Chains A and B, each alone.
Chain A
Amino acid sequence: MPGLGDFWPYIIQGLAFGAMYAVTGTGLVVLYQTTGVVNLAFGAIGCLGAHLAWSMLGGSLSKPTPHAEGWRILAYPLVVVVCAGLTVAYGVFIAPLLARRDPLVKSLGTLGVALLLLGIMKERWDTSKPRALDLPTKKYTVAGGVVTTTQLAALGFAILVVVVVTLFLKQTATGTAMRAIANDRDVSSLLGVPTRRVEALAWLGSGVICGCVFLMLPPLFKSLDQGTLTWFIIGALGGAIVGQFSSLTVTFFASMAIGVIESVLTPFSDSFQFMSDFRKMTPFVVAVAAIMWISRRRTVVLAGREMR
């Protein structure tokens, strides 16, 4: 059985991954609330942005972790620009074509985008060799454990995003418009809310969040593996599902808990091998349990209304 001190590095690591889950979950929730789309292409778009930055940094197989020098420092903002641009492009040009469909079909559309981008990445970038995209980082020793600035930045960014987005939705006119659209799109439109513009803003916000997440995620994973990064979204859905795609606070805490649980099961490899082996199932187990709990009462939809 591992000692308490053995857990410390894993708790830090778990908080950092939980923070990434939380930020991703926030991006998903805001977009779902406004447009009814669960953006399952979030990971693929972010992964493409990270790969473009890697190439701009002069990435090659002989230099798996390139450094930013001179104008190449622009590679980091490029991740955010690419992610925001692609997300808005989808939101403005393609998403309206599926706007009248149910959330399931809208979300399946984003799966098509994910496959499209993943295919391009697999063709353009050699997947057989390990690659990484690092941020300039420093290491600190806190209570006997090593903490990196990337981990601290991830945690701080998650808290900042949740607070800012919550305040934005509650205190600003655009935020109120977003909540109104989430409540009833047609009535909001009749009342003069510019639905298209507000939805485009939600896509933009989601894209910026995506870019920021994929600035920090490759250094945390220490890899640019396309499959891992693209389908990171499936794990990140766990927190959003617990928050029922509506509560940012619940999404934040659930995501942090998932990240920490997933990470602290690692040191059990000696005594309880299966816990360590199956630790990556944590988001899925939590999400499935949450869905079962949410739907513990059977409902049917009649004339657009849920009946219990």
Chain B
Amino acid sequence: MTAVATAPATLVETPPPRGIARVTKSPYFSPGAAIVVFVLALFAIPAFFDAFWIANFTQMAVFSIVAASAGLLYGRVGLVSLGQVASYGIGCWVTMRLAFATSLPFPIIVVLGGVAAMLIGMLIGLPALRVSGLYLALVTLMLAAGMEIVLNTVKFPNGGSGFKGVAKTLSDIRPTRRPSFALTDVTYYRFLVVGAFVMFVIASLMLSHKPGRAWESIRQSEAAALAAGIDVTRYKLLAFALAAFMAGVAGGLYAGTVPKGMSIDAFNRQSAIFLIAVVIMGGIYSLWGGLLGAFFATCLLKFLTQNVVGHQFWTRFALSLFGFGLLVNLIQSTRVAEKKGIEA
């Protein structure tokens, strides 16, 4: 007679401690720190800084959204897109056109600008998702260059009639309207800060939930993600859509900062490359990197120009500084990876 085997007590399944299963702290965008920065940006900056600095912080708020969108794609999904300025430009164009053509509330048309950028981004992104790495960077760079030509030809609306909405005479040019509750520079800055905060919260929520985990898995190994049952195409497309939406909304918000005659300079090939330098310098593995990069590119340069070396040295050499910074950052990250014994 054999003894009946009984399961040892240690094998009895017990529920894991709740703390392990839960995400206790988001590494992407700590809510406490985000709220502190948000409140400071909303109240302290307008109270302590003059109009010149408000204008710079306004640019920073817009740029931080675009930088965060590019950083999200690169740092969290492993997709290098040099075409984020194309979505930025589309969002700006659609918002301006709707602002002149309709009487819809400004926040609604900004969202519609973001949706238009997202739809076009998805349309372009779907075939682009077949490629990755260098080829994806080149495709998106080509798309940015193509969009520059389109925007240069179509031109930004300025109060005229027809599809393009371009005025025929200088006297017909009108500024893009702002929301009725944010007509002054300070109130518009506050409106922008709220807009940027909302965008960062959306991105943070996505990163800390299922899409974020799927993106992380895809970034580490696409083959392993596929084997684990992750719908790689769907999640890559979602990342493209989110990034394009964020950039489009940023473009819409930017439309309200330019009083008359939007220039193509913010949406050209040089800006596309400058953006990736800013993103890499700010840091790609956290949404804070977008904010930091935007701070470097706007406020810090102005501060250095005014206080450290005169004659506009820092502003004039901004391109060189960011080019140098990009190079140093790449070399440094390679050294760190090699030191850790990990093949980068």
A 96-154 contacts with B by CB, 8 A:
97-98, 100-105, 107-109, 111-120, 122-123
* Residues of B with C-beta under 8 A to A47: none
Q: Determine whether A284 belongs to the interface, using a CB cutoff of 8 Å to chain B.
A: yes
Q: Determine whether A291 belongs to the interface, using a CB cutoff of 8 Å to chain B.
A: yes
* Closest chain A CB from B324 CB (angstroms): 5
Most A C-beta atoms less than 10 A away, residue of B221, B327, B335, B343? B327
Q: Determine whether B26 belongs to the interface, using a CB cutoff of 8 Å to chain A.
A: no
The segment from A1-9, A217-225, A247-255, A274-282 found at the interface with B is: A274-282
B 261-299 contacts with A by CB, 8 A:
268-270, 273-274, 276-277, 280
A 224-246 contacts with B by CB, 8 A:
227, 230-231, 234-235, 237-238, 241
Q: Determine whether A173 belongs to the interface, using a CB cutoff of 8 Å to chain B.
A: no
B149 engages A281 (CB within 8 Å): yes
A 145-198 contacts with B by CB, 8 A:
none
Select which of B141, B274, B317, B319 is within 8 A of A234 by beta carbon.
Answer: B141
**Do A234 and B142 form a contact, CB below 8 Å, given A103-B134, A291-B131, A302-B223?**
yes
**Interface bits B120-152 vs A (CB < 8 Å: 1, else 0):** 000000010011011101110111011001100
B 210-233 contacts with A by CB, 8 A:
221-223, 226
- Of all chain B residues, which has the CB nearest A280? B149
Assembled-state Cα–Cα distance A29/B276 (Å): 24
Q: Determine whether B318 belongs to the interface, using a CB cutoff of 8 Å to chain A.
A: yes
Assembled-state Cα–Cα distance A302/B331 (Å): 26
* Closest chain B CB from A36 CB (angstroms): 9
Assembled-state Cα–Cα distance A175/B134 (Å): 25
- Of all chain A residues, which has the CB nearest B135? A291
**Do A97 and B139 form a contact, CB below 8 Å, given A111-B273, A227-B270?**
no
* Closest chain B CB from A164 CB (angstroms): 27
Select which of A38, A97, A103 is within 8 A of B331 by beta carbon.
Answer: A97
* Closest chain B CB from A272 CB (angstroms): 13
- Of all chain B residues, which has the CB nearest A299? B130
A104 engages B330 (CB within 8 Å): no
B330 engages A112 (CB within 8 Å): yes
B149 engages A119 (CB within 8 Å): no
B130 engages A295 (CB within 8 Å): yes
Assembled-state Cα–Cα distance A292/B317 (Å): 38
**Chain A interface, number of residues (Cβ within 8 angstroms):** 52
A112 engages B324 (CB within 8 Å): yes
**Do A288 and B319 form a contact, CB below 8 Å, given A111-B326, A115-B277?**
no
Assembled-state Cα–Cα distance A120/B222 (Å): 40
* Residues of B with C-beta under 8 A to A122: 316, 319
Assembled-state Cα–Cα distance A119/B315 (Å): 10
- Of all chain A residues, which has the CB nearest B317? A119
A287 engages B142 (CB within 8 Å): yes
Most A C-beta atoms less than 10 A away, residue of B127, B221, B319? B319
Besides the known contacts A234-B141, A283-B142, 16 further A-B residue pairs in the complex with CB atoms under 8 A apart? A38-B134, A102-B134, A105-B334, A105-B344, A109-B331, A111-B273, A112-B323, A115-B274, A115-B323, A116-B327, A117-B320, A119-B319, A278-B153, A287-B139, A291-B138, A300-B223
List A residues at the B interface (Cβ < 8 Å): 38, 94, 97-98, 100-105, 107-109, 111-120, 122-123, 227, 230-231, 234-235, 237-238, 241, 277-278, 280-281, 283-285, 287-288, 291-292, 294-296, 298, 300-302, 307
Interface pairs (6), CB distance under 8 Å: A94-B331, A112-B325, A115-B323, A287-B142, A291-B138, A302-B223
List B residues at the A interface (Cβ < 8 Å): 80, 127, 130-131, 133-135, 137-139, 141-143, 145-146, 149-150, 153, 221-223, 226, 268-270, 273-274, 276-277, 280, 316-327, 330-331, 334-335, 338, 343-344
